[in-house]
């Protein structure tokens, strides 16, 4: 693109429904880095064990032949009481994550993957199989390509500038290459050529939703982003999900199993209500943008194509309506998803 954007303001506004993270839980960034560290430690340990096995048996095949018959492994549910600090055990936590994360690719997990071990532990303590919390982890998913943050929460304001080479403009201002997307006085979406000095918002979303279509100067990516996504605000967003999970815990669970089912239904309804509130607050609804609003920058690359979002589609003045309709539909479907009656849990809770 001929034009470029330079940072003027970037902030997550006051959207706190709950504190950032529960006082007893590490931050999302610490949880993510802990997984990376655990996996690295597990690999190092495995390499050392393999070297020891080779020295003792000569080859892994010979080691297998030398081992006595071992009974089939217990399920993860059955092994929980035997595992010290289950949610901090890299092997078992990794097993749960790897078995569930690919069940629905390119989706956002409203119960973040760091909570899989917690979900399994809760289900074991409740004593119901299949476990409802792990079921929710697998079910509550939204296409990442449509999870766009409300610009009233995540504000990234930038100013258009000419790109220069040795002091000379590459293009004239009339051929600047950037556009503004905005609503006019009548509430209709419009686009117009952007000129140097014009200010606009750069839309942000979940990692996997969009990337910049032009050069951005001084933009600070989210601390969790490593691949150049326009995802500023993700850390705050996911931290609220962690806290929502923590505040709906097992501290008031009754001892009697029959009463426990009724208690669990109420607990889940309250949890889903609060999760829905977070989704409604954070997810952008283009229809709710007021007339004569701030402009948004075009183009950008949106990952919402029919191939599952692998290649991305350039969103520009000729096709932005398709993207806006897609984002609107994803939010509507997500809010409907949090209805407990639509999750197929009745056969477990009865």
**Model pLDDT, residue 64:** 47
Assigned domain for 73 exists: no
Cis peptide before 297 (omega within 30 of 0): no
Assigned domain for 68 exists: no
Per the structure, the complete domain to which residue 217 belongs is given by 1-45+82-350
**Model pLDDT, residue 147:** 96
- In the beta sheet, which residues pair with residue 154? 12
What is the DSSP secondary-structure string of 225-239? --S-BS-TTHHHHHH
**Model pLDDT, residue 137:** 86
**Model pLDDT, residue 342:** 84
If one counts every other C-beta atom within 10 angstroms of the C-beta of residue 182, the result is: 19
**Model pLDDT, residue 84:** 47
* Whole-number CA gyration radius for the chain: 25
**Model pLDDT, residue 72:** 45
Q: Read off φ and ψ for residue 22, nearest 5 degrees.
A: -65, 145
3-state secondary structure of 212: strand
**Model pLDDT, residue 348:** 67
Assigned domain for 11 exists: yes
Assigned domain for 59 exists: no
Assigned domain for 35 exists: yes
**Model pLDDT, residue 89:** 54
3-state secondary structure of 196: coil
Residue stretches of the chain with pLDDT short of 70? 1, 14-104, 129-130, 164-175, 306-310, 346-348, 350
Q: In the chain, how many domains are there?
A: 1
Assigned domain for 71 exists: no
Assigned domain for 283 exists: yes
Assigned domain for 298 exists: yes
């Amino acid at each position: 693109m001929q034009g470029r954007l330079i940072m003027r303001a970037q902030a997550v506004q006051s959207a706190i429904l709950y504190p950032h993270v529960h006082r007893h839980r590490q931050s999302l960034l610490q949880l993510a880095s802990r997984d990376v560290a655990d996996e690295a430690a597990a690999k190092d340990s495995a390499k050392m064990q393999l070297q020891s096995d080779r020295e003792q048996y000569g080859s892994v095949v010979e080691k297998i032949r030398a081992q006595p018959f071992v009974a089939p492994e217990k399920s993860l549910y059955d092994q929980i009481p035997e595992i010290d600090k289950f949610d901090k055990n890299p092997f078992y936590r990794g097993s749960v994550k790897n078995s569930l994360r690919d069940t629905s690719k390119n989706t956002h997990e409203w119960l973040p993957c760091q909570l899989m071990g917690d979900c399994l532990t809760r289900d074991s303590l409740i004593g119901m199989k299949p476990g409802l919390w792990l079921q929710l982890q697998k079910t509550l998913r939204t296409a990442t390509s449509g999870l766009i943050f409300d610009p009233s929460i995540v504000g990234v304001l930038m100013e258009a500038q000419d790109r220069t080479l040795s002091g000379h403009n590459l293009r004239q201002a009339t051929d600047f290459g950037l556009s503004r997307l905005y609503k006019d006085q009548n509430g209709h979406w419009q686009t117009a050529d952007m000129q140097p000095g014009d200010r606009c918002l750069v839309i942000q979303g979940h990692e996997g939703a969009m990337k910049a279509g032009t050069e951005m100067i001084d933009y600070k990516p989210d601390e969790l982003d490593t691949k150049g996504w326009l995802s500023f605000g993700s850390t705050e967003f996911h931290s609220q999900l962690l806290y929502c999970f923590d505040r709906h815990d097992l501290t008031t669970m009754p001892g009697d199993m029959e009463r426990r089912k009724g208690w669990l239904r109420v607990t889940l309804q309250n949890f889903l209500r609060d999760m829905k509130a977070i989704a409604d607050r954070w997810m952008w609804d283009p229809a709710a943008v007021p007339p004569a609003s701030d402009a948004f920058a075009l183009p950008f690359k949106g990952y919402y194509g029919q191939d599952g979002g692998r290649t991305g589609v350039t969103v520009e003045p000729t096709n932005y309506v398709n993207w806006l309709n897609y984002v609107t539909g994803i939010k509507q479907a997500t809010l409907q998803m949090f209805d407990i009656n639509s999750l197929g849990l009745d056969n477990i809770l009865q």
